[in-house]
Amino acid sequence: MRFRILGTLEVRAYGDRVTLASPRQQRALAVLLLSPNSVVPVERMIDALWEDEPPATAVKQVRNCVSALRARLGEAGASIVTDGPGYRLETGVDDLDSLRFRRHVAAARTLAGQAKLVDAVEEIRAALGLWRGPALDGLRTTTLAGRAAVLDEQRADAVELCAEWRLRLGETGEVVRELTEFCGEHPMREQSHLLLMRALAKEGRYAEASTLFHGLRRRLADELGVDPNPELRRLHEQILAEATPSEPEPEPEPAPLRHSFDRAVTELAEAVTWQWRAEAELRSLHRPQPIALRWSALRGRLRGDLDDIAETYTALPVPQLVVLGEPGSGKSVLALMLTLELLRTRAPGGPVPVLLSLASWDPRRDHLDRWLAARLADDHPALLNAREYGRDAPTRLVLGGHVLPVLDGLDEMPADLRVAALDALDQTMGTGRALVLTCRSAEYDQVVREAGAVLTAATVVRLEPVARQEAITYLSARDGRDRWGPVADRLRRDPDAALARVLRTPLMVDLARIGYGRPDADPAELLGASEAEALEGQLLDSFVPNAYAQVPQPPGRNPKTSPSGRYTAAQATRWLGFLARHLEQARSRDLAWWQLYRAVPVRTRSALAGVLVALFFVVTGWVDDGPALAAIYGVSFGGAACLTHRFGRAPEPLRTEVRFAGAARKFAGRFAIGAVVGVLLGLGWSLATGLVVFLALVFGLVFAVHVWLAKPVDASRVSSPRTILRNERTGTIALSVSFLVSLGLFDGMAFAFTAQTRFLPVLGGRFDLALAIAAGLAGASFGFFMARGVAAVCYGLAGAIAGGQVFPAATNPVLPFVAGVCFGGGIGLAVLVTRAWGNYFVHHLWLAATGRLPWRLMHFLDDAHRRGVLRQAGGVYQFRHARVQERLAEVHQEERP
């Protein structure tokens, strides 16, 4: 059995091609072949088979898929072995083209090391001959793409090795021909351009070599905001020195103006400063007597506290710092305060420290720099405004060294991603780029044991436990020593007791002070617990009730900046517990309103969308021609909505704002497109000329108004959950209303004024094939515009089934109005639920109606933020402490019926 993945996936047995029954079997075999002779965990296979949320029976379906794959492969199916947590495909080097490729490359390198360049070129050309196209061409799901890209990178390295050796052999003509094509396919690959420039220069084609350099420099500046590497620049200078007068140097293009990009750096620094300064003030981190956070380096004699961590970091020979500590030891607080201090002391033009939670990063799917750029764009969407800051400013900020990533919570990533994440950090940051990373001690030690030597240049410090006397001083600072006397005595007398072990972290000391700082509370209750785990649970359980304690409010309180008294502790505990459980199941720390739909079972989600949309179309069909047509309309469009939400991708929110300046040209273009659509629909349904003109105007305006939703222009503003929701809601409502008006108006006019021309009637005149095709194409276009492929198929079929129905024109002038309103309402609702805000709106109503969330969710989350239960990180909320989230989720699970 021979397997081929260097191109399209192929399986051959005895010279004949084996056809796999389904794409799912192809993906399952591909993920096994990408890790030959290694165990592939079931979780990775699930990610490969389902790009979005897998079904509840995913594990069982993987087993069934592997069983079917074994049967399909015949005798070779026995090579797929069940091994522990997954499956392993046993294959020899001669049976898999990627293994043969690596063998040829290794042999070529050995021959080149022995100065046998002719043999080395022959060997590596044999390796390149195994390639038939990009690895796994046509089968690249998100999970498979990353590993396939590694193979493509190895092929590119082999091409460059071959070219370098052939240049040494003097084969410049062949190198020019091959690398010219290769550089066209890889326009940003610097090593390939360097080799091609050398080959051109050896042939005396200096002008072409110089033109090639300027083209590469322009692309690097436009796309990444960087210059070619020093070796390329030196080669270009040598070429200029050797160029003959008959071949003058092309005049270089003027350097692009950088003032817009420089302004992006400055405004980013301002935004991050305001963001975390407000968070620090809300969490009272600058209070007069904060609890001390002391740290010490694992190697060397470096020691210090929170006040000197920034100075210590800037003095490091390599600007990389790893901060370790126990749960609740203050790692996140240290990261926040370090960020603010680095911002305060930042020199003009220096990198901007950006504090980010690592919980949302999947290193198997996203390169670190790509993820960093995406997070910048999420939190500061104005950076995507090319007119204000140049093209792709977030990526240029990251790759240009203008961002110092302060990455909080490696331990908060799923356990199966931590090794990959640390390995990716080591590869990306191993060149000495600036980095700050925080992690729990035990998790970091485990990852280092599994990953080996990583981040070897980084300075690793560990937060020390809170000293007993510091805990006593902090607890009794406001209340005097009498109330806390028994606690202080126990801490001094028994340093190994449960109380002393628990009060070694700032989190637990702070919870004790919050819980027992009230005059009516007795701190002596802390002495009753004999187990540290029980006492820790007691303090964690007290956090939310104490945060929601009912206290008198002063007169003149601003409701927008002060906690609300409308929520009881019981309500807050129940709702926050549900949200914490939702995040734990999603293995996330980021509470994003547009991902709340994941808290609703997938079948319920699709049923909700289908039923809501179907209701409007049932009424439309009933008004048009009675119950039979009502059933056809309801099933068609309701089924389309249901299937779209069952199998389609969930939308991300639009980060836009209403802006009219500079939109005239786009407005005219969109208006023309809309007018053409209106004319075609009017003519297709045989409407009078005046009505066709009217439809053209309406559709033109509807299509054109969307150009007023543009990217924000102020990068100094940080996204917040409310601003994202407000902007997305504006765009969603505008989009939904525009479709409601235009298509509702068209349906009403078609019902009232159509000349009822029949083109290709069938089924006794009850169905018209020409109208069905026209409506199907319109429905498919609508679906593709809203949610791409799945929706295009579903709404295309729904449009064909419903649009081809033939029924008599209206006899009552009221009926077309009712039908138009209902049809437009159904279309508008279909649009609404495919957008992030509409998706959130529907599922939030469902969760609120079933008592799992409050009706005014954003108000509740804002209130929890002001009370210090949640923290805000850009456009998402997070629980203030990971331990609080874990405890709330655990208690909520126990209380569920």
Q: Would you place residue 895 in the very low, low, confident or very high pLDDT band (cuts 50, 70, 90)?
A: low
Q: Would you place residue 556 in the very low, low, confident or very high pLDDT band (cuts 50, 70, 90)?
A: very low
Alpha helices in 430-568 (DSSP H): 441-451, 468-475, 485-493, 498-502, 506-516, 532-547
pLDDT (tens digit per residue) in 222-270:
677 677 888 888 887 787 766 544 444 443 433 444 456 777 888 888 8
What is the CB-side half-sphere exposure of residue 585 using CA atoms within 13 A? 19
pLDDT (tens digit per residue) in 28-53:
888 888 888 888 888 888 878 876 67
Whether 124 contacts 162, CB under 8 Å: yes
DSSP SS3 for 884: helix
Q: Would you place residue 272 in the very low, low, confident or very high pLDDT band (cuts 50, 70, 90)?
A: confident
Output the pLDDT for position 757: 67
Which comes out higher in pLDDT, residue 552 or 754? 754
Minimum mean pLDDT range among 98-107, 545-554, 656-665:
656-665
DSSP string, 808-844: PPPSSTHHHHHHHHHHHHHHHHHHHHTSHHHHHHHHH
Determine the average pLDDT of the residues in 613-626: 87
Q: In sequence order, what are the beta bridge partners of 12?
A: 2, 17
Alpha helices in 169-189 (DSSP H): 172-185
pLDDT of 384 over the 70 cut: yes
Instruction: Give me the amino acid identity at 204.
Output: G
Provide the Cα torsion 376, 380, 385, 391; round to 10°: -20
Determine the average pLDDT of the residues in 177-184: 85
Residue whose tokens read 């390599």: 318
pLDDT of 409 over the 90 cut: no
Q: Would you place residue 709 in the very low, low, confident or very high pLDDT band (cuts 50, 70, 90)?
A: low
In the DSSP assignment, the letter for residue 763 is T
Rounded Cα distance between 142 and 649, Å, is 13
Q: Would you place residue 756 in the very low, low, confident or very high pLDDT band (cuts 50, 70, 90)?
A: low
Output the pLDDT for position 717: 56
**Phi, psi of 887, rounded to the nearest 5 degrees:** -70, -45
Alpha helices in 74-116 (DSSP H): 97-113
Q: Please state, as a whole number, how many other Cβ atoms lie within 10 Å of the Cβ of residue 172.
A: 18
pTM over 0.75: no
pLDDT of 463 over the 70 cut: yes
Output the pLDDT for position 147: 76
pLDDT of 557 over the 50 cut: no
Output the pLDDT for position 248: 41
In the structure encoding, which two tokens stand for residue 857, read together?
């969710």
Whether 481 contacts 489, CB under 8 Å: no
Q: Would you place residue 575 in the very low, low, confident or very high pLDDT band (cuts 50, 70, 90)?
A: very high
In the structure encoding, which two tokens stand for residue 183, read together?
């550089």
Q: What angle do CA 320, 324, 325 make, to 5 degrees?
A: 160
Q: Would you place residue 289 in the very low, low, confident or very high pLDDT band (cuts 50, 70, 90)?
A: low
Can you point out the beta strands (E) in 280-376?
294-297, 303-305, 320-325, 352-357
pLDDT (tens digit per residue) in 734-744:
888 888 888 78
pLDDT (tens digit per residue) in 59-100:
888 888 888 888 887 777 778 888 878 888 888 888 888 888
Which residues lie below 8 Å from residue 830, measured CB to CB, with a gap of 6+? Answer: 613, 637, 640, 641, 786, 795
pLDDT (tens digit per residue) in 832-871:
888 888 888 999 999 999 999 999 998 899 888 888 888 8
Rounded Cα distance between 218 and 213, Å, is 9
Q: What angle do CA 621, 805, 640 make, to 5 degrees?
A: 65
Output the pLDDT for position 555: 45
Rounded Cα distance between 26 and 20, Å, is 6
Which comes out higher in pLDDT, residue 147 or 271? 271
Determine the average pLDDT of the residues in 182-196: 86
Of the candidates 776, 765, 771, the one whose C-alpha atom is nearest the C-alpha of residue 808 is 765
Whether 530 contacts 499, CB under 8 Å: no
Of the candidates 768, 620, 616, the one whose C-alpha atom is nearest the C-alpha of residue 685 is 768
Rounded Cα distance between 722 and 876, Å, is 9
Q: Would you place residue 521 in the very low, low, confident or very high pLDDT band (cuts 50, 70, 90)?
A: confident
**Phi, psi of 405, rounded to the nearest 5 degrees:** -75, 125
Q: Which helix (H) or strand (E) element contains residue 403?
A: strand 403-408
For the chain, percent of residues with pLDDT exceeding 90: 7
pLDDT of 277 over the 60 cut: yes
pLDDT of 599 over the 60 cut: yes
Instruction: Give me the amino acid identity at 126.
Output: A
Determine the average pLDDT of the residues in 433-438: 90
DSSP SS3 for 302: coil
Output the pLDDT for position 554: 46
* Rg (alpha carbons) of the chain, rounded to whole number: 32
Rounded to a whole number, what is the distance in angstroms from the first to the last CA of the chain? 53
Output the pLDDT for position 405: 93
Determine the average pLDDT of the residues in 808-818: 79
Which range scores top for mean pLDDT: 103-112, 514-523, 549-558, 649-658? 103-112
Of the candidates 476, 83, 118, 465, the one whose C-alpha atom is nearest the C-alpha of residue 292 is 465
For the chain, percent of residues with pLDDT exceeding 70: 89
263 CB burial (10 A radius; 0-12, 13-18, 19+): middle
CA 339 to chain centre: 23
DSSP SS3 for 879: strand
- Residue length, the chain? 897
Of the candidates 707, 732, 722, 720, the one whose C-alpha atom is nearest the C-alpha of residue 837 is 732
What's 159-170 look like in SS3? HHHHHHHHHHCC
DSSP string, 32-56: HHTSTTS-EEHHHHHHHH-SSPPPT
